[in-house]
Structure 1
Amino acid sequence: MSKLLSLLAVGLALSLGTAAHAAEDKAAPTKQQSKMAACNADEKAKTLKGDERKAFMSECLKNKPATQQDKMKACNADEKAKTLKGDERKAFMSECLKK
């Protein structure tokens, strides 16, 4: 009986650790993920195909950190920004530009 309880306790501890780790993975996007989103939002990336797109994305991701103008383009391209109006849009844009 005590072995069963010990195994149950170990199993519970392991499952809680896994759940906590999964929650960390869903946190804010990394810098690389943000750069990838900005590069994908760029109008050029939408029209390129195959090797041209790969070359563009590679160059885009190598470039220095996104400028304020690049961030603005990416935030404006977000579907959520297109549906919001007034103060809600201002709040969204402010938060998006801080990333």
Structure 2
Amino acid sequence: MSKRLSLIVASVALMFAVSSVHAADTKQPTASQQKLGDCAKQNKGKKGDDYKNGVKACMSGSTTAAPAKQTPQEKMKSCNVDANAKALKGDDRKKFMSGCLKGSS
């Protein structure tokens, strides 16, 4: 019977050890890790140096995170995101998109 009791005690101790290791694995990211994740999401779709520079600018808090020269596809995507954020529809959206794509908005 003492073997059975020691087996139960060992099993319980093992369960506590495993649960504490699991709890350590589920830590929340630090503030800088969270910011890095957010910056990576903002620069999704970019490649190579554009991606690295975008993330670096975002992490440093630079206001010039966007590249100086965007491709037409990137500009269209950016303008669409802005128009959606403003919930523009119809003529207002057309006017906004036109100005945004020309660079005046």
Shorter-chain TM-score: which interval? 0.3 to 0.5
Structure 2-normalised TM-score?
Answer: 0.40
Computing the radius of gyration from Cα coordinates, the structure with the larger value is 2
- What is the TM-score with the length of structure 1 in the denominator? 0.42
Structure richer in helix, relative to its length = 1
Identify which of structures 1 and 2 has the higher relative contact order when contacts are C-alpha pairs closer than 8 Å and 6+ apart.
Answer: 1
